[in-house]
Amino acid sequence: MNELLIKSKIKDYKVVFKTNVVEVSETIKILPNKVLIVDANVLSIYRTEIEDMAGDGDIIPFKAVEDNKDLDAVAEFYAYLIDRNAKRNINLVSVGGGITQDVTGFVASTLYRGINWTFVPTTFLAQTDSCIGSKTSLNFQNRKNLLGTFYPPSIIYLCPAFLSSLKTIDYYSGIGESIKFQLMNPFVKPDLQDVGQKIERLRKYELLDEVIMENMAVKINYMENDEFDLGRRNLLNYGHCFGHALEISSVYDIPHGIAVSIGILFAGVVSVNRGIMSSSMFEGIRKIILPCLLVRYEERHYERNMLLSAMKNDKKRTGSRLSIVLSDNDFMLSKYDDLEEKEFYEALKTLIVTLER
């Protein structure tokens, strides 16, 4: 399969798989009135291909770090784009990972009440997760993804060949999200041995196309009939409640997908403490995740009051207690809005012992 149609109440869109970067360049080149917003690191690696992709269009380099995923960056893009002769017929092309996608998507959704945009995801995390789902997200006042819209690109060109140039830790960030999807597979009850073997092959850069397709199928299943995140789609936040908090407390030294993996471990500790997951099941999950973390435990990243404060600021929180998605022994997920502070602190202590093992 080299093409996938994603149904959306906003507009249907396609994911088109390409075998190499040159194919992507040749496809983008024919778009009229295009402006490319390109992760500066990607531009430095693929300058020839991206300049060819731009043709007579403009290239805007973008430093894709969390500090730039905000309204200031959006305002700079507005100022640049509104000075162009082309207005609503601009073709905005985003080339990069999730941060570049979020900022470009937000600009596209709000400028002139919506302009056309295309996404070329270049990270494993973006290819396996964020490229589909319609969400755009911005940080605001040290709160992650607090602002955003639902506005899918018109088309996504997905080329796993980009992943060969990723830093190892960024590649493993994608593995972290892949672990999440493989554990929450709604089509079959996950077998931890099979999941572990698949993740081990991913670590060797094998099975990329297969796993990306499987992960997309899982995400699409959870999005069906809940595109706007009001119900079942919330379960995709498995590992994210604590994971987002850890990103903030580590000042983003721990990348998103690895933080999500640690968040799955935190959720597992809570599940074991509540008696809905066995210790043996948690141990099986731990054995899959620990070799994929690539970041050593550092006490400064796990300051408990900072983590608690970040979890309190989670946009998914609905009451006075903390929100978390938990799995039981059958890998059935449920969102809970009743995590007490005392329970949080107890789980954090156990998590730290787990990470130090």
**Measured between alpha carbons, how far is residue 112 from residues 89, 108, 244 in Å?**
10, 8, 32
Q: Tell me: do 187 and 148 sit in the same domain.
A: no
Give the amino acid at 300: R
Q: Is 37 left (phi over 0), alpha (psi -120 to 50) or beta?
A: beta
Q: Tell me: do 253 and 264 sit in the same domain.
A: yes
Q: Tell me: do 45 and 17 sit in the same domain.
A: yes
Q: Tell me: do 292 and 308 sit in the same domain.
A: yes
The domain boundary residue, chosen from 116, 131, 165 = 165
The domain boundary residue, chosen from 165, 183, 203 = 165
Q: What single-letter DSSP state applies at residue 132?
A: S
Q: Tell me: do 21 and 132 sit in the same domain.
A: yes
Give percent above pLDDT 90 in the chain.
94
The domain boundary residue, chosen from 165, 196, 228 = 165
Selection from 159, 132, 116 nearest residue 14 by Cα? 132
Per-residue pLDDT, 87: 82
Q: Enumerate residues 6+ apart whose C-beta is below 8 A from 320.
A: none
Q: Tell me: do 229 and 346 sit in the same domain.
A: yes
Length of the chain: 357
Q: Tell me: do 150 and 212 sit in the same domain.
A: no
Residue 229 and residue 191 in contact, taking contact as beta carbons nearer than 8 Å: no
Is residue 319 exposed (0-12), middle (13-18) or buried (19+ Cβ within 10 Å)?
Answer: exposed
Q: Tell me: do 197 and 51 sit in the same domain.
A: no
Check whether 1 has a pLDDT greater than 60.
no
Give the count of domains, the chain: 2
Provide the CB-side half-sphere exposure for 193 (13 A, CA). Answer: 0
The CATH number of whichever domain residue 112 belongs to comes to 3.40.50.1970
CA–CA gap between residue 187 and residue 218 (Å, rounded): 8
- Show the tokens assigned to 89: 């017929």
| pLDDT tens-digit map of 11-36 | 999 999 999 999 999 999 999 999 99
Is residue 108 exposed (0-12), middle (13-18) or buried (19+ Cβ within 10 Å)?
Answer: buried
Write phi, then psi, for 20 (nearest 5 degrees).
-150, 165
Name the one residue in this structure whose structure tokens are 């968040």: 263
Give percent above pLDDT 70 in the chain.
100
CA–CA gap between residue 166 and residue 6 (Å, rounded): 27
- Residue 132: which domain range? 3-165
∠ Cα 134 136 141 (to 5°): 155
Provide the CB-side half-sphere exposure for 121 (13 A, CA). Answer: 26
Q: Tell me: do 259 and 143 sit in the same domain.
A: no
Q: Enumerate residues 6+ apart whose C-beta is below 8 A from 210.
A: none
| pLDDT tens-digit map of 142-158 | 889 999 999 999 999 99
Is 0.85 topped by the overall pTM? yes
Q: Tell me: do 105 and 127 sit in the same domain.
A: yes
The CATH number of whichever domain residue 208 belongs to comes to 1.20.1090.10
Residue 260 and residue 174 in contact, taking contact as beta carbons nearer than 8 Å: no
| pLDDT tens-digit map of 316-342 | 788 789 999 999 999 999 999 999 999
Q: Tell me: do 68 and 117 sit in the same domain.
A: yes
Q: What is the mean predicted confidence (pLDDT) over 179-196?
A: 96
| pLDDT tens-digit map of 72-122 | 999 999 999 998 877 889 999 999 999 999 999 999 999 999 999 999 999
Q: What is the mean predicted confidence (pLDDT) over 46-54?
A: 97
- Show the tokens assigned to 159: 């080329």
